[in-house]
Amino acid sequence: MNEAPAPELDRAETRQSALLDAAVGVFARYGFRKTSMDEVARAAGVSRQGLYLQFANKEELFRKAVEHSLSSQLNAAKAALSDRQQGIELRLLAACDAWSGRFVGSLGSDAADLMCASTSLAGATLAHYEERFEAVIARAIADSPLGALYAAAGLSSHELARVLHATARGLKHSSASREEFLSGMKAAARMFCTALNQRG
């Protein structure tokens, strides 16, 4: 058997995760065009050759970094939604912040090209994770009293999830800081839950 022992696989996954975290940080600071493989290698604490052993070029590294970031954001949103100690309003707010709020106000001045690069190099991956995010939001709404309340008004949990996601996306691009983003999302989550709060 040539299978690597589980601890060795875990270490390899941890190393790759740390490398991709470093890459995400560098891309967020410099944008796609101005980021160099040398800069990512320095940030990750690996050699340039070591980086090229794992990724053929900057485009491949960027695609993997985007997927890694989206996966982390989705997992954080799922964790927020599963926290039954909180009411649905706070869970929706926390999930939208985990998904859309991470980089608000923290991108470097050279990172303006990230959205274009994400769309052109990782558009299918981005669309896939956006659909998954909306699905987990829809499930949380359907499983809460909001689901029945809005169903009576002819609105499905999927429609509500799309609207909430669109709101988060809009605020992500229009807010100058994470605080401003959170303030807008608090208002959106409160509006979603007003009828439920009044009923309670």
Instruction: Answer whether 88's CB lies under 8 Å from 196's CB.
Output: yes
**Residues 117-140 pLDDT 10s:** 999 999 999 999 999 999 999 999
Instruction: Answer whether 161's CB lies under 8 Å from 137's CB.
Output: yes
Q: What local confidence, expressed as pLDDT, does residue 5 receive?
A: 59
Instruction: Answer whether 101's CB lies under 8 Å from 165's CB.
Output: no
Distance CA 7, CA 5 (A): 6
**Residues 28-37 pLDDT 10s:** 999 999 999 9
Instruction: Answer whether 44's CB lies under 8 Å from 51's CB.
Output: yes
Does the pLDDT at position 55 exceed 60?
yes
Mean pLDDT, rounded, of the chain: 92
Domain limits, the chain: 6-199
> Distance of alpha carbon 164 from its chain centroid, rounded?
14
**Residues 71-89 pLDDT 10s:** 999 999 999 999 999 999 9
Which among 159, 161, 185 is positioned nearest to 171, based on CA atoms?
A: 185
pTM higher than the cut 0.75? yes
CATH superfamily of 6-199: Tetracycline Repressor, domain 2 (1.10.357.10)
